[in-house]
Amino acid sequence: MDTPSQLLQLLFTGLTLGSIYALIGLALVTTFNITGILNLAQGEFVTIGALLAISLYATGLPLAAAFIIAVLLVAALGGVLERCAIQTARQASALTLIIITLGLSIFLRGLALLVWGTETYSLPAFSEGGPLFIGGAAITPQSFWIFGLTALTLAGLYAFFELTYWGKAVKAAVLNRTAARLMGINPNRLSLLAFLASGALGAAAGIFIAPVTMTTYDMGFMLGVKGFVAAVIGGLNNIGGAVLGGILLGILESFSAGLISSGLKDAFAIIILIGVLLVRPQGIIGSLKERKI
């Protein structure tokens, strides 16, 4: 393997990893945009979605059916948690709400441990066949599925936020709840919607990555952290930024592990995060100016 194809290989790996982080970052940004809450339980939605789909698939259901049922169940779970835990504390400060989501994350992890135990599970790849070779570098079909889901989610969210009335309503509700209420927008319903959507998105991401990363009850935490870093790099309220942040993070991890040393890869991620927070707290794209009233 010569140097150019080695670099290409690292790029492909980085893109796959980056898309995974981007998906979780997207879900975080969506909830944040709608409710102003950073949902630290997002990683657990990913885990539970994947584990549910694996269990359903093991009962003999076709993969597509298992996927749909798992996504719906986790969306419902997101909704129930929002009604029980977030809505009842709606008057509390943002910090309190974030801590509540942390509590939810620990609760869900414990639940997953009780139901599925500590074993590692995995799903078969969605499409048959070995890896493709492009310029001497290999890329698995499952990576394309993950790219596709990321692109589709990005496009869908972009269209929702920028092109629809409801998207605008959502943004208005975050900026000023009272004013939005006066305009006939119900922020409580939007908050429920946000958790339903982030549950579904998290579960879908979890099922798509399960054939690549395998699934354990505790994998959500680390994925949540990486998704959080991706979202912060992107500016936390910018969906394009979250995808860019995730992919940047993935590529950086892959190149630092492949070219320098694998021990440095997490260090690089954290250095970038601190750098972005210090130099451009509005994120690498940053659209905070537009949000000033």
CA triplet 72, 223, 166: central angle to 5 degrees? 45
CB of 175 to other proteins, least distance (A): 8
In terms of CB distance, is 207 or 232 closer to other proteins? 232
The residues that touch other proteins, with contacts defined as CB under 8 A, are 1-3, 6, 9-10, 12-13, 16-17, 20, 36, 38, 40, 94-95, 98-99, 102, 105-106, 113, 117-120, 122, 124-125, 130-131, 133, 138, 140, 175, 209, 212-214, 216, 218-219, 221-222, 225, 228, 232, 236-237, 254-255, 257-258, 261-263, 266, 277, 281-282, 288, 291-293
Phi then psi dihedrals of residue 134, to 5 deg: -120, 115
In terms of CB distance, is 153 or 215 closer to other proteins? 215
CB of 199 to other proteins, least distance (A): 19
Among 60, 25, 81, CA closest to 231 = 25
CB of 98 to other proteins, least distance (A): 6
In terms of CB distance, is 13 or 150 closer to other proteins? 13
Q: How many residues does the chain have?
A: 293
Cα-to-chain-centroid distance, residue 35: 16
In terms of CB distance, is 153 or 238 closer to other proteins? 238
Question: Residues with Cβ < 8 Å from 261, sequence gap 6 or more?
Answer: none
162 token code pair: 């920028």
Q: Could you tell me which residues are beta bridge partners of residue 121?
A: 215
In terms of CB distance, is 76 or 106 closer to other proteins? 106
Q: In Å, what is the CA distance from 29 to each residue of 9, 141, 227?
A: 30, 28, 10
